[in-house]
């Protein structure tokens, strides 16, 4: 290593960060990256001493492969991981980000803060793509011009590492085969609080008699001074990028009018759904309910808690994610990987023995689960006790367009062993609820085009190799909306 580089590393050794950023920005980018799979496989490139690697492991539950060329950074990271009990989650690897020794498709998230310029944005995006698993996401921060007319001074400084602007980098990302899901300009404080400010203190203490050190100090001072004088002309920008092929699946799963649901990563949705597009069903419920930030919401029969994560992320509510078959531990891992740990509480609960105080919830939501216990005439009287008077209960259930008497309709006879004989019309549910005298039924309707959306979901999941049955697809095709649909039921507790 040259004397200059040795002096440069000595100046930077032990700083909180080795570049522009903050934990708050890492968290924000994680949130923008959308829900990651539980215990995501992460690759942190140019990890330095590992601020982001440690955060990904500690907060998102990631298993992080942390790559850097500079061994002392990796040693520092390993020590920090050890101190924080994260040794099993952080694997430091000394390698060049230009030549990565990993198999195709082996990461759910690739992370690179303030380091991509080492090999160049375009090369990085092109060569790293093969490492992303289906549904994987690439998060990268890059320095860019923030003005069309940078000063001569700024231009001269950045001549070594020519900057581009956001429009140019967006286009480059698309060119490299990604969809740009989010673009986030890092705040100016990310340059100073954990980087330039502590570095400045070091510069003041450095030994000016050592020529290499004097040169390193002068270079750092020029850089910091430029930021002070011309900081509005350039910025760091975070990009959240997904493989463009994933976008085709996302579009295939999208239900018109359910734009929030359609923005979620399709593989995550397919891997964790336990019935037809639960986010579509949740969004249609939420659209007809009053859900405001901070409300306490019970998500009953939450399955793998993706509806709870969606409610927390999109409506800012606090969710108790209760389920019987799915254990709260994997749900907690999913919640953490979805940046929702502060708003979702996973619990194991049986619908008839809820471990909550009466009147505790502002709302109860139940997506594609109420049919398992709610046809019992006594059930609503029990459940409604847990919502405060005036609070809402919103339920989405598979439903029928008409009630039938006697034997099942002729075109469904081949499918006799299915549960559909327990399904009902919205009118049936309205009467079933209204006669308890505990609630005012505000809505009991069929979701528009539900049979088509349901069939398209099953077909898409099947085509993507997910958990759908050909039998259900045949049933929905044979029925063609004559019998099956989805109902939305919303009531307010009166008593």
Ligand X SMILES: C[S@@+](CC[C@H](N)C(=O)[O-])C[C@H]1O[C@@H](n2cnc3c(N)ncnc32)[C@H](O)[C@@H]1O
Instruction: Tell me which residue of 201, 189, 191 sits closest to 223, measured CA to CA.
Output: 191
Binding span for ligand X by CB under 6 A among 134-142, 194-202, 239-247, 302-310: 302-310
Tokens of residue 359, six digits: 């009147």
Is-contact 66 44, C-beta < 8 A? yes
Whichever of 324 and 381 has its CB closer to ligand X, that residue is 324
* Minimum gap (Å) between residue 12 Cβ and ligand X: 48
Give the whole-angstrom CA distance, residue 124 versus residue 277: 35
Contact flag: residue 158 with ligand X (CB under 6 A): no
Binding span for ligand X by CB under 6 A among 33-41, 347-355, 385-393, 426-434: 347-355
| Burial category of 2 from C-beta neighbours within 10 Å (exposed 0-12, middle 13-18, buried 19 and up) | exposed
* Minimum gap (Å) between residue 304 Cβ and ligand X: 6
Binding span for ligand X by CB under 6 A among 11-19, 344-352, 454-462, 471-479: 344-352
DSSP-based helix, strand, coil % in the chain, nearest 5: 45, 25, 30
In the region spanning residues 240 to 279, those forming contacts with ligand X, defined by CB under 6 A, are 273-275, 278
Contact flag: residue 102 with ligand X (CB under 6 A): no
- Phi, psi at residue 91, to the nearest 5°? -120, 100
Residues whose CB is less than 8 angstroms from the CB of residue 406 and which lie 6 or more positions away in sequence, other chains included: none
Contact flag: residue 325 with ligand X (CB under 6 A): yes
Q: Which of 112, 224, 295, 302 binds ligand X (CB under 6 A)?
A: 302
Contact flag: residue 351 with ligand X (CB under 6 A): yes
Residues whose CB is less than 8 angstroms from the CB of residue 431 and which lie 6 or more positions away in sequence, other chains included: none
Q: Which of 109, 110, 289, 326 binds ligand X (CB under 6 A)?
A: 326
Contact flag: residue 329 with ligand X (CB under 6 A): no
Query: CA Rg, the chain, in Å?
Result: 27
Contact flag: residue 301 with ligand X (CB under 6 A): yes
Contact flag: residue 307 with ligand X (CB under 6 A): yes
Whichever of 78 and 337 has its CB closer to ligand X, that residue is 337
- Name the residue whose CB lies closest to ligand X: 303
Is-contact 183 237, C-beta < 8 A? yes
Whichever of 54 and 273 has its CB closer to ligand X, that residue is 273
Whichever of 275 and 426 has its CB closer to ligand X, that residue is 275
* Minimum gap (Å) between residue 396 Cβ and ligand X: 8
Whichever of 367 and 439 has its CB closer to ligand X, that residue is 367
Number of residues that bind ligand X (CB under 6 A): 20
In the region spanning residues 357 to 376, those forming contacts with ligand X, defined by CB under 6 A, are 367-369, 372-373
Give the whole-angstrom CA distance, residue 266 versus residue 280: 12
- Phi, psi at residue 96, to the nearest 5°? -90, 140
DSSP structure class, residue 179:
E
* Minimum gap (Å) between residue 351 Cβ and ligand X: 3
CB count in 10 Å sphere of residue 462: 15
Whichever of 60 and 300 has its CB closer to ligand X, that residue is 300
- Phi, psi at residue 482, to the nearest 5°? -70, -35
Contact flag: residue 324 with ligand X (CB under 6 A): yes
Tokens of residue 285, six digits: 């419920």
* Minimum gap (Å) between residue 255 Cβ and ligand X: 14
Is-contact 447 454, C-beta < 8 A? no
Give the whole-angstrom CA distance, residue 276 versus residue 278: 6
Q: Which of 19, 150, 266, 303 binds ligand X (CB under 6 A)?
A: 303
Give the whole-angstrom CA distance, residue 263 versus residue 241: 13
* Minimum gap (Å) between residue 247 Cβ and ligand X: 23
Strands (E) in 330-404, as ranges, are: 344-348, 361-367, 387-400
Binding span for ligand X by CB under 6 A among 21-29, 296-304, 381-389, 446-454: 296-304
* Minimum gap (Å) between residue 298 Cβ and ligand X: 11
Contact flag: residue 323 with ligand X (CB under 6 A): yes
Contact flag: residue 144 with ligand X (CB under 6 A): no
Q: Write the CA distances from 380 to 302, 363, 422, integer angstroms.
A: 18, 14, 17
Instruction: Tell me which residue of 159, 143, 173 sits closest to 233, measured CA to CA.
Output: 143
Whichever of 312 and 326 has its CB closer to ligand X, that residue is 326
Look at phi and psi of residue 52 and say left if phi exceeds 0, alpha if psi is from -120 to 50, else beta.
Answer: alpha
Whichever of 138 and 273 has its CB closer to ligand X, that residue is 273
Contact flag: residue 21 with ligand X (CB under 6 A): no
23-32 and 51-60 are packed helices; what angle lies between their axes, rounded to 10 degrees?
50
Give the whole-angstrom CA distance, residue 218 versus residue 208: 10
Whichever of 4 and 382 has its CB closer to ligand X, that residue is 382
Contact flag: residue 350 with ligand X (CB under 6 A): yes
In the region spanning residues 395 to 434, those forming contacts with ligand X, defined by CB under 6 A, are none
Which positions lie near ligand X, rule CB under 6 A? 273-275, 278, 301-303, 307, 323-326, 349-351, 367-369, 372-373
């Amino acid at each position: 290593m040259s004397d200059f580089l040795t002096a440069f590393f000595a100046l930077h050794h032990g700083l909180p960060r080795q570049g522009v950023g903050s934990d708050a920005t890492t968290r924000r980018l994680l949130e923008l990256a959308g829900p990651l799979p539980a215990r995501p496989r992460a690759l942190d490139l140019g990890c330095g001493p590992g601020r982001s690697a440690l955060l990904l492991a500690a907060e998102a539950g990631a298993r992080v492969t942390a790559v850097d060329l500079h061994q002392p950074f990796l040693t520092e990271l390993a020590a920090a991981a050890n101190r924080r009990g994260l040794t099993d989650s952080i694997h430091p690897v000394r390698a060049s980000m230009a030549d990565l020794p990993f198999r195709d498709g082996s990461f759910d998230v690739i992370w690179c803060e303030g380091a991509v310029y080492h090999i160049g944005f375009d090369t990085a995006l092109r060569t790293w793509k093969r490492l992303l698993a289906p549904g994987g996401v690439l998060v990268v921060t890059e320095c860019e011009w923030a003005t069309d007319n940078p000063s001569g001074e700024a231009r001269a400084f950045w001549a070594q590492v020519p900057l581009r602007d956001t429009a140019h980098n967006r286009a480059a990302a698309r060119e490299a085969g990604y969809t740009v899901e989010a673009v986030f300009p890092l705040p100016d404080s990310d340059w100073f609080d954990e980087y330039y400010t502590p570095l400045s203190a070091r510069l003041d203490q450095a030994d000016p008699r050592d020529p290499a050190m004097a040169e390193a100090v002068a270079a750092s001072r020029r850089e910091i001074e430029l930021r002070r004088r011309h900081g509005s002309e350039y910025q760091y920008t975070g990009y959240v990028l997904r493989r463009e092929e994933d976008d085709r699946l996302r579009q295939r799963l999208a239900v018109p009018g359910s734009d929030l649901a359609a923005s979620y990563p399709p593989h995550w949705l397919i891997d964790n759904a336990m019935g037809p597009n639960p986010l579509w069903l949740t969004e249609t419920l939420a659209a007809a309910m009053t859900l405001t930030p901070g409300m306490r919401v019970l998500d009953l029969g939450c399955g793998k808690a993706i509806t709870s994560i969606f409610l927390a992320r999109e409506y800012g509510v606090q969710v108790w994610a209760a389920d019987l078959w799915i254990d709260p531990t994997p749900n907690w891992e999913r919640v953490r990987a979805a940046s929702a740990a502060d708003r979702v509480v996973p619990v194991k609960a049986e619908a008839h023995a809820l471990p909550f105080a009466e009147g505790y919830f502002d709302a109860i939501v139940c997506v594609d689960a109420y049919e398992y216990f709610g046809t019992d005439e006594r059930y609503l009287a029990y459940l409604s006790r847990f919502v405060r008077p005036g609070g809402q209960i919103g339920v989405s259930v598979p439903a029928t367009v008409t009630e039938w008497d006697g034997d099942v309709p002729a075109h469904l006879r081949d499918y006799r062993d299915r549960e559909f004989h327990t399904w009902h019309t919205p009118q049936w549910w309205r009467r079933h609820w209204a006669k308890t005298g505990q609630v005012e039924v505000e809505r009991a309707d069929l979701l528009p085009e539900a049979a088509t959306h349901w069939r398209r979901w099953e077909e898409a999941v099947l085509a993507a190799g997910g958990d759908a049955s050909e039998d259900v697809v045949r049933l929905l095709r044979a029925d063609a909306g004559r019998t099956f649909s989805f109902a939305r039921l919303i009531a307010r507790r009166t008593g």
